[in-house]
Amino acid sequence: MALFLQQVLNGLMIGSTYAIVALGFSLVFSVMRVVNMAHPEFFMAGAFGAYLTIRYVTANFFGVLAGGMLVAAVVGLVVERLAIRPVRGRYVLIPFIATSGVGLALQHLAERVFGSDPVAIPPVVPTVVYSLGPLSVTRMQLVTFAIAAVLMVGLRFYVRNTKWGRATRAVAERPEVAAAFGVDVDFVSRLTIGISALMAGAAGVSIGILYTSAWAFMGLLYGLKSFVCMLVAGNRHIEGVMVIGLLLGVLEALVSGYVTSTLRDAVAFGVLVVVLVVKPNGLFGSYSV
Amino acid sequence: MSLLLRVRDLEVAYGAVPAVMGVALELPTGEIRAILGANGAGKSSTIKAILGLVKARGTIELEGRPIHGLATHRIHQHGVAWVPEGRQLFSTLTVHENLEMGAFSRGNGPDFRSRVDQTFEMFPRLRERRSQLAGSLSGGEQQMLAIARALVSEPRLLLMDEPSLGLAPKVVQRLFEQIQEINARGLSILMVEQNARQALKIAHYAYLLEAGRLAAEGSAETLMASEDVQRAYLGG
């Protein structure tokens, strides 16, 4: 029982980062009908942003977090400018291919700059372990979860209760009508990409610090998993994507704990296959494109 | 009487297929004018060109100021509001949120609340359903909301695309009365309608499009009396 609870706890901590990466991915798809294949590189940019901030600016955790998110947001706006804006409104495969290209370029740019081996991120959060009975959790795990939770709640509030969030939902459903009522659709698109990049960047900072490294190709697996989360959840409710992200983390942790950790990364794809066979529109339903 | 809208030499094409060829029309302030014609005559394309939603050539002026070539959201800020064909509400937003979107560029201060109250007086059903999702309304209620959404932006020009489409005859009757009431309060309206008979009852003047070209124009009475128009559009 203790092992089970411990793995669930570990899973929730990691799952929260899947959730925020997947949320941005799903948000961009809902609003812009763009499968942004460069999204995982926002995560990677966040981790390297953290590395650069620690090396050249500050080792204060909040400064590092802000630095990583900022770098990710800048990369996000560059991707929007290069690979999304020029092909706006085109068939869904065209931005898919364009963003794949820019994503690959970003990976190899990072490899050029930082080398093909992971770079070490020094610990900026002291290694403190909290125990509750048989369960233990590190401070950085809690920080990771807290950041993700704040971002999830914040995004939900933004989308539901603010003027620009409302405009974002309107653009997601009917971009032409939203424009005819005064919404600058291009601005909403940039805003949405920016928000998705900030969230993925925060996850990159957390994971970079948690695993003490940043790597040019670290986005690949994370990106695939967040893609899986979106497909499994469907993109109708952002809550669905959050829940699936958390569940995926838990499931992976249980498989590592009870079966073997080498199968951990296969879990997401196994779940995807099953869900696509049983409910092709995702568990919570989706908009048709 | 001052001229609110003037369109000249309007050309719209989708790829190599021309939809509108050399259309000219005017809307004096305070009038209702209708664009009539069969399916595919270029009526909706004309409206979309005025809104900046399709690429068009020619000149479009609002009170003498050119608006063609502006982005759609800028054209709205000049006081142009749209009741689209098939309503096109934000169905995943509530009734009230749809109204807030209507007033997006005006903000939702006390001013907005009084405009919402005004539209609720005109359409009391919407007040009852204000927190319901727009997608759950009946066809008639959806049309009310589409009009209310356009009115809360306090436009100078209201563009209506097929307002009667898909509505029951009794609802259509009431709808056209309401359009007349809105016009009587001073709002200028350019309306596209396939239901020529109804449209000519409330319009001051109408344009007849055929295959993208202007085939006839004149006061509602003149067109109503014209034998060609009778035969082609009024079923008699």
**Tens-place pLDDT, residues A244-280:** 999 999 999 999 999 998 998 899 889 888 888 888 7
- Specify the pLDDT at position A288: 44
The pLDDT tens digits of the residues spanning B148-189 come to 999 999 999 999 999 999 899 999 999 999 999 999 999 999
Q: Nearest CA of chain A to the CA of B157: how many Å?
A: 13
The pLDDT tens digits of the residues spanning A145-164 come to 999 999 999 999 999 999 99
Biggest alpha carbon–alpha carbon distance for chain B: 52
Cα A185 to Cα A187: distance, rounded to the nearest angstrom? 5
ipTM score: 0.93
The pLDDT tens digits of the residues spanning A162-202 come to 999 999 999 999 999 999 999 999 999 999 999 999 999 99
Contacts of A169 in chain B (CB under 8 A): 90, 92-93
> Least CA distance to B74: which residue of chain A?
A182
Cβ-proximal residues to B137 (8 Å cutoff; 6+ apart), any chain: B89, B95, B129, B145
Biggest alpha carbon–alpha carbon distance for chain A: 59
The type of residue at A173 is E
Cα B195 to Cα B185: distance, rounded to the nearest angstrom? 24
Q: Which residue among B84, B108, B153 places its CB closest to the CB of A177? A: B84
Q: Which of B98, B174, B168, B173 is nearest to B139 (CA)?
A: B168
- Classify residue A144 as left (phi > 0), alpha (psi -120 to 50) or beta: alpha
Cα A3 to Cα A257: distance, rounded to the nearest angstrom? 8
Q: Cβ of B73 under 8 Å from any chain A Cβ?
A: yes
Cα A134 to Cα B63: distance, rounded to the nearest angstrom? 76
Q: Nearest CA of chain A to the CA of B102: how many Å?
A: 6
Q: Are A251 and A271 in contact (CB under 8 A)?
A: yes
Contact A169 B93 (CB under 8 A): yes
The pLDDT tens digits of the residues spanning A228-237 come to 998 888 877 7
pTM of this prediction? Answer: 0.91
Query: Hey, which residues does B159 pair with through a beta bridge?
Result: B82, B190
Structure tokens at A270: 């196994």
Q: Are B53 and B76 in contact (CB under 8 A)?
A: no
Instruction: Give chain B's mean pLDDT.
Output: 93
- Specify the pLDDT at position B77: 95
Q: Are A32 and A168 in contact (CB under 8 A)?
A: no
Q: Are A31 and A172 in contact (CB under 8 A)?
A: yes
In sequence order, what DSSP letters do the residues of chain B get, joined into one string? --EEEEEEEEEEEETTEEEEEEEEEEEETT-EEEEEE-TTSSHHHHHHHHTTSS-EEEEEEETTEE-TTS-HHHHHHTTEEEE-TT----TTSBHHHHHHHHTTTT--SHHHHHHHHHHHHH-HHHHHTTTSBGGGS-HHHHHHHHHHHHHTT--SEEEEE-TTTT--HHHHHHHHHHHHHHHHTT-EEEEEES-HHHHHHH-SEEEEEETTEEEEEEEHHHHHH-HHHHHHHS--
The pLDDT tens digits of the residues spanning B99-150 come to 999 999 987 788 899 999 999 999 999 999 999 999 999 999 999 999 999 9
Q: Are A196 and B90 in contact (CB under 8 A)?
A: no
Contacts of A179 in chain B (CB under 8 A): 53, 71-73, 76
- Chain A and chain B share a number of CB contacts under 8 A equal to 67
Q: How many CB atoms lie within 10 A of CB A116?
A: 11
Q: Which of A192, A266, A287 is nearest to A224 (CA)?
A: A266
Q: Cβ of B101 under 8 Å from any chain A Cβ?
A: yes
* A66 pLDDT above the threshold of 60: yes
Encode chain A in three state secondary structure: CHHHHHHHHHHHHHHHHHHHHHHHHHHHHHHHCCCCCCHHHHHHHHHHHHHHHHHHCCCCHHHHHHHHHHHHHHHHHHHHHHHHHHHCCCCCHHHHHHHHHHHHHHHHHHHHHHCCCCEECCCCCCCCEEEECCEEEEHHHHHHHHHHHHHHHHHHHHHHHCHHHHHHHHHHHCHHHHHHCCCCHHHHHHHHHHHHHHHHHHHHHHHHHHCCEECCCCHHHHHHHHHHHHHHHCCCCHHHHHHHHHHHHHHHHHHHHHCCHHHHHHHHHHHHHHHHHHCCCCCCCCCCC
- Specify the pLDDT at position A278: 86
Contact B71 A177 (CB under 8 A): no
Q: Which residue among B88, B100, B105 places its CB closest to the CB of A166? A: B100
Q: Cβ of B153 under 8 Å from any chain A Cβ?
A: yes
- Specify the pLDDT at position B235: 62
Q: Using pLDDT thresholds of 50, 70 and 90, give the confidence band for residue A286.
A: low
CA-to-CA dists, residue B108 to A98, A149, A169, B84, B130, angstroms: 39, 30, 17, 23, 16
* A287 pLDDT above the threshold of 60: no
The pLDDT tens digits of the residues spanning A23-49 come to 999 999 989 989 999 999 999 999 999
The pLDDT tens digits of the residues spanning A70-125 come to 999 999 999 999 999 999 888 989 999 999 999 999 999 999 999 999 999 999 99
Q: Cβ of B16 under 8 Å from any chain A Cβ?
A: no
- Specify the pLDDT at position A239: 86
CATH topology of domain B1-79+156-236: Rossmann fold (3.40.50)
Contact A167 B91 (CB under 8 A): no
> Least CA distance to B159: which residue of chain A?
A180
% of residues, chain B, pLDDT over 70: 98
Q: Cβ of B173 under 8 Å from any chain A Cβ?
A: no
Q: Cβ of A180 under 8 Å from any chain B Cβ?
A: yes
The type of residue at B114 is S
Q: Nearest CA of chain A to the CA of B221: how many Å?
A: 33
Q: Which residue among B53, B105, B108 places its CB closest to the CB of A182? A: B105
User: Region A200-210: what's the mean pLDDT?
Assistant: 97
Cα A229 to Cα A227: distance, rounded to the nearest angstrom? 5
Q: Which residue among A163, A166, A174 places its CB closest to the CB of B88? A: A174
Q: Which residue among B53, B104, B108 places its CB closest to the CB of A181? A: B104
Q: Which residue has the higher pLDDT, A92 or B49?
A: B49
Q: Are A239 and A160 in contact (CB under 8 A)?
A: no
CA-to-CA dists, residue A207 to A48, A106, A200, A213, angstroms: 11, 19, 10, 8
- Specify the pLDDT at position B107: 79
Phi, psi at B68, each rounded to 5°: -70, 145
Q: Which residue has the tokens 């929730």?
A: A12
Query: C-alpha angle with apex A68: A247 to A128, nearest 5 degrees?
Result: 65
Cα A145 to Cα A139: distance, rounded to the nearest angstrom? 10
Q: Using pLDDT thresholds of 50, 70 and 90, give the confidence band for residue B234.
A: low
The pLDDT tens digits of the residues spanning B180-203 come to 999 999 999 999 998 888 899 999
